[in-house]
């Protein structure tokens, strides 16, 4: 287990040096995302992420920020999830002081100029349209709206146009000030990095006054009923986008190692059961995939596919047959061994990049309060048994608790359910 360095203000820092690279990634993760919002400011976490690039007191404009980084060939960006927000810079190691200074400047000294805010509102509305008009991406949002109906977990991360235009600068800044505090932050520096980097972080991020801000999110207590929940978006498409969802476990649950392997065997690779049965044998789709996502208190196991509209019923029947089969008979020793090797290989390849290594440690530290090394994580994966995989399949893949989302040429939910053979 990798122990972070704790600064006096509560901020945690992971220094992750390794050889063979001249680059370093600095990642700052903050424990705030859309599930911490209230209805009137849904989208504020994502809005704040955008506004961090719109100018500070020392770098007054977006150009002043981007020009500093572009001049040294740095890669930089930010992202917002439902439970965290991240900012990162990957840069030549000798230029690390610039990355540290700039991220500190953006996160703690952005101006939130009203004119820039109003301009950015329009940019985000266009971004919302872009995602909503991409069926492959939007079907996942529809599914989580269905699975987590009544909870902020079901809200779109970017919010909607109405709230984006109506939320006030005062409310946005108050929300930021509540969450953007050192005790809710983790920094990871990975790559060509030494202890000099810690001095840079202490001088900048370590100088921010620490304060305790008790923050709670609305826990998800499960669906209000156990009947099949369905959400349809009518759109004239030749290929239907379908997503099936099953509640799974929270991020800290020890059973997630088995769930990861279940997702790989069921639909995580081109040799997975769903890929072979739905695509290769029957030619019913181009893509089909199973994956598991986790939040603090609940997870979402999803099966997603793009399907031939004329053969929807056959495709759904085939998918659910594979679900039933894996629950009834479990997986084979060969499948489990291959899934473990697949996990190992993906992790080893991914962690060659400094950005992935920073993310590996920072995300665990932020969400779990501890950070396993890749070797420790692999020992957890290697310890999973055939019975454990079948047990989580039986617990999670309960069709009485299934949610469905689809985008396609259906007038309403009943029309879709009939076409899919689910009514």
| Active site residues per annotation | 49
Query: Rounded CA gap, 30 and 362, in Å?
Result: 10
- Assign 3-class secondary structure to 126-169: HHHHHHHCCHHHHHHHHHHHHHCCCCHHHCCCCCCHHHHHHCCH
Q: Please choose, from the candidates 109, 28, 22, 110, the residue with its C-alpha nearest in 3D space to the C-alpha of residue 73.
A: 22
Q: Helices 44-51 & 169-179, crossing angle to 10 degrees?
A: 90
Beta-sheet strands, E only, within 249-298: 285-294
Query: Rounded CA gap, 275 and 290, in Å?
Result: 10
* Encoded tokens for 207: 């100088």
* Encoded tokens for 113: 């100029």
DSSP code for 1:
-
Residues in the chain: 423
| Angstrom distances, CA of residue 26 to CA of 23, 89, 191, 393 | 10, 5, 9, 38
Q: What is the DSSP string of 325-372?
A: HHHHH---HHHHHHHHHHHHHHHHHHTTSHHHHHHHHHHHHHHHS---
| Angstrom distances, CA of residue 248 to CA of 201, 208, 266 | 38, 38, 15
Phi, psi for residue 237 in degrees, rounded to 5: -130, 145
Phi, psi for residue 59 in degrees, rounded to 5: -125, 85
């Amino acid at each position: 287990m990798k122990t972070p360095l704790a600064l006096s203000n509560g901020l945690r820092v992971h220094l992750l040096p390794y050889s063979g690279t001249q680059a370093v990634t600095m990642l700052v993760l903050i424990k705030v995302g859309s599930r911490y919002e209230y209805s009137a400011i849904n989208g504020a976490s994502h809005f704040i992420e955008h506004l961090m690039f719109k100018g500070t007191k020392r770098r007054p404009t977006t150009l002043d920020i981007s020009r500093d980084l572009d001049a040294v060939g740095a890669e930089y960006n930010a992202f917002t999830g439902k439970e965290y927000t991240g900012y990162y810079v990957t840069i030549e190691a000798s230029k690390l002081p610039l990355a540290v200074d700039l991220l500190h400047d953006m996160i703690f000294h952005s101006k939130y100029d009203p004119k820039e805010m109003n301009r950015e509102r329009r940019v985000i509305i266009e971004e919302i349209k872009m995602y909503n008009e991409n069926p492959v991406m939007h079907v996942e949002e529809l599914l989580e709206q269905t699975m987590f109906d009544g909870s902020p977990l079901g809200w779109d991360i970017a919010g909607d146009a109405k709230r984006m235009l109506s939320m006030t600068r005062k409310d946005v800044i108050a929300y930021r000030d509540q969450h953007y505090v050192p005790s809710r932050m983790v920094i990871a520096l990975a790559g060509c990095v030494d202890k000099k980097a810690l001095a840079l972080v202490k001088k900048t991020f370590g100088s921010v006054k620490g304060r305790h801000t008790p923050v709670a999110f609305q826990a998800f207590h499960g669906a209000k009923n156990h009947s099949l929940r369905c959400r349809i978006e009518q759109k004239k498409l030749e290929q239907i986008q379908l997503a099936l969802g099953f509640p799974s476990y929270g991020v800290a649950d020890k059973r997630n190692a088995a769930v990861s392997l279940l997702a790989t065997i069921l639909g995580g690779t081109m040799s997975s059961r769903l890929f072979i049965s739905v695509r290769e044998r029957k030619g019913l789709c181009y893509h089909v995939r199973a994956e598991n996502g986790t939040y603090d208190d609940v997870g979402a196991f999803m099966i997603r596919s793009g399907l031939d509209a004329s053969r929807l019923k056959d495709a759904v029947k085939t998918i659910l047959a594979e679900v039933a089969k894996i629950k009834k008979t479990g997986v084979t020793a060969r499948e489990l061994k291959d899934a473990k090797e697949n996990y190992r290989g993906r992790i080893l390849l991914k962690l060659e990049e400094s950005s992935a290594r920073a993310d590996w440690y920072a995300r665990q530290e932020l969400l779990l309060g501890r950070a396993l090394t890749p070797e420790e994580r692999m020992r957890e994966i290697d310890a999973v048994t055939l019975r454990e995989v079948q047990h989580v399949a039986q617990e999670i893949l309960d069709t009485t608790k299934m949610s469905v989302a689809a985008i396609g040429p259906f007038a309403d939910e009943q029309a879709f359910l009939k076409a899919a053979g689910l009514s």
